[in-house]
Chains A and B, each alone.
Chain A
Amino acid sequence: MNWISNYVRPKINSLFSRREVPENLWTKCPECGTMLFHRELASNLNVCSSCDHHMAISPRDRFKALFDLGIFTEVKVPDAVADPLHFRDQKRYPDRVKAAQKASGEKDAMLVVEGDVARTPIVAAAQDFSFMAGSMGMYVGNAIIAAAERAVQMRRPLVLFSASGGARMQEGMLSLMQMPRTTVAVQMLKEAKLPYIVVLTHPTTGGVTASYAMLGDIQIAEPNAQIGFAGARVIEQTIREKLPEGFQRAEYLLDHGMLDRVVHRKAMREELVTLIRMLMNLPPAVKGDLPAPAEAGPAPPPDAEAVTAVPEDSKA
């Protein structure tokens, strides 16, 4: 049986990111100060090779490293009402959105896709902290609903990578209403008995933590990610004492029973596949049997061949 014959080319080949980075770029690790060569940092999924600090990674880059051969298809997210409150602070809200769109090449703070991870079909959503602090407005609400509906329609699990400062103030109460709204999306998954796995990444706070990001069947976090409801500064001002070392960090939450696991970004793919395949009652993933298709485009991400699975069509 030739699995390649069953291989369907995605309509949108998402290998071409709009975020092109110059070749000879160095990044200074904000944690330990080590200068990291861009290519090395990218191949390490934006994790500092010296101190393991997990830096931000765009949803698109994360998905390229997650999906087989870096290939995934975007799930369409309905447009939201633009600037529903005619909000203006020191800038007009539409101008802030436009600036963020231009800088990121994305429509808003969440990207929803589908594809195979080690031959395991999933729907995934990832939040982009660099887009207006990953704030949750109506578009993000639409994205989560679209992700849940697609997962239910395709009978796939949903993996959600969160990163957000909370609700988007510029959409006022309509952003706050995304808390119950996204909760309804989570309920759709639960009623369909499909796994909903949340990966909390740095930082996830406010109304996002207090809704869909804390309602996963399984709660995973990246190391040292800040996760909480209130901001640390607000808490210090309220209780008038200094917060302990590591407060609101992933390991601290794990100690306090708020998470299932803290997983290194480089181990995340294998971890997700292992969990999902068990939850979906699929046979274990088999390593190393997947040849790269000849017509594959740019070099696959470093770990694309690390985990592979028994092809769906060869199952008994």
Chain B
Amino acid sequence: MNYLEFEKPLAEIEGKAEELRAMARSNSGMDVVKEAEALDRKAETALRDLYKTLTAWQKCQVARHPDRPHCRDYITQLFTEYTSLAGDRAFAEDEAVMGGIARFNDQPVLVIGHEKGNDTKTRIERNFGMARPEGYRKAIRLMDIADRFRLPVITLVDTPGAYPGKGAEERGQAEAIARSTEKCLSIGVPLISVVIGEGGSGGAVALASANRVAMLEHSVYSVISPEGCASILWKDAERMREAAEALRLTAQDLQNLGVIDRIVKEPLGGAQRAPKETIEAVGKAIEAMLKELSGKTPDALIRDRRQKFLDMGSKGLAA
């Protein structure tokens, strides 16, 4: 278990319980069951207290937790016959964005998502989920396929942001993002997005300009990282706690602002503590959102999606 900085008190309790059990295993005469159980209860209370009132910055940390389920885990658990499709047909295959045709509850769909990787090797392969222009151009190509063959599109958003690299700029990172957003707004099939971890700025919008957008309870979606915002507006990256609060980047704030449509509850202690359960809950949400959009004509889907974004910004937080 990887503990976050704010989970330290919890780590101590769980560590002690673990120690007790280890001692009992190597020393069969010891009876520690009661003590260990008491510690477990204490740990659960601590966990409940911690997660009841996560600050915005704590949510950022949870959203970036290395043990949080990633796009690939969702695809494996929720979809069958997943057939990945690669390449932008112009320059390269970008593994920061994965996508393909699959079945969701037997229905053929197209699924696209950012994948961050799970260990050093895969993180490098996936470029930590930071897509280059090719990733967005692949997404555009896949959305075209979905549009032509009437496949609903499901996108899973989890990126720190689009990759800020030399080659990425030279090959038109901005243009690729703009075109991907434009494609999202043009396809005549249901488009559903779920922010499963980090929704990092333009790199997220490019896949999330959808009919319905859901967020996991402790995921975040922001115009800029709290660290970046703090270094610009506070002239001090260490003020990220204040920046995170001010940016209103939590699922709860964004639902109040009308930016997202739905929050998917996470298990106690966050998705990283119970990935299977989390993925299952996301699956239920996708099912429900697909149902809401079923039977709509291509024109209606495009019109509703555009209207939704045109209306965006007529509303602020209540005074």
What is the interface of chain A, defined by CB distance below 8 A to chain B?
Answer: 80-90, 138, 141-142, 145, 167, 169-181, 183-184, 186-187, 206-207, 209-215, 227-231, 234-235, 238-239, 241, 243-244, 247-248, 252, 256-258
Contacts and interface: CB of A to CB of B under 8 A. Distances in A.
Contacts of A174: 257, 259, 312-313, 316
Given A84-B257, A84-B317, A90-B233, A184 B309 contact: yes
A243 B166 contact: yes
B181 A183 contact: yes
B175 interface: yes
Interface string B198-211: 00011001100100
B234 interface: yes
8 contacts: A169-B223, A172-B257, A173-B221, A175-B223, A176-B202, A180-B312, A184-B310, A187-B182
B189 interface: no
A207 B316 contact: no
Given A181-B313, A239-B166, A187 B174 contact: no
A81 B318 CA distance: 11
Contacts of A247: 166, 169
Contacts of A176: 201-202, 205, 222-223
B50 interface: no
A238 B165 contact: yes
A187 B164 contact: no
Chain B, interface residues (CB within 8 Å), range: 35 or more
Contact of A169 (B175, B186, B233, B259): B233
A177 B174 contact: no
A83 B221 CA distance: 19
Closest 9 CB pairs between A and B?
A: A84-B316, A230-B164, A209-B174, A138-B313, A89-B233, A180-B209, A229-B174, A210-B177, A229-B173
Contacts of A90: 233-234
Nearest to A175: B223
Contacts of B233: 89-90, 169-170
B229 interface: yes
B223 A187 contact: no
A206 B201 CA distance: 10
Given A81-B316, A180-B205, 15 more contacts: A81-B315, A84-B313, A85-B247, A175-B223, A180-B185, A181-B312, A183-B185, A184-B185, A187-B182, A187-B185, A187-B306, A229-B164, A229-B173, A235-B166, A248-B169
Interface of B: 162-166, 168-175, 177-179, 181-182, 184-186, 201-202, 205-206, 209, 221-224, 229, 232-234, 242-243, 246-249, 254, 257, 259, 306, 309-310, 312-317, 319
Dominant secondary structure of chain B at its interface with chain A: helix
Interface centre among B179, B246, B259 (most CB of A within 10 A): B246
B65 to A, nearest CB: 21
A99 B94 CA distance: 44
B177 A183 contact: no
Contacts of B181: 179-180, 183, 210-211
Contacts of B259: 173-174, 177
B165 A235 contact: yes
Contacts of B202: 176, 179, 206-207, 210-211, 229
Nearest to B319: A86
Contacts of A244: 166
Given A180-B209, A229-B202, A243-B166, A142 B185 contact: no
Interface centre among B174, B312, B317 (most CB of A within 10 A): B174
B308 to A, nearest CB: 9
Given A89-B246, A183-B209, A173 B254 contact: yes
Contacts of B229: 169
A115 to B, nearest CB: 26
A85 B316 contact: yes
B313 A85 contact: no
Contact of A210 (B174, B306, B315): B174
A245 to B, nearest CB: 13
Contacts of B310: 145, 181, 184
A221 B234 CA distance: 32
Contacts of A234: 164
Nearest to A136: B223
Contact of A85 (B162, B178, B248, B309): B248
Nearest to A137: B313
A99 to B, nearest CB: 14
Nearest to B223: A176
Contact of B246 (A88, A181, A214): A88
Contacts of A145: 310
A215 B223 contact: no
Interface centre among A90, A173, A176, A215 (most CB of B within 10 A): A173
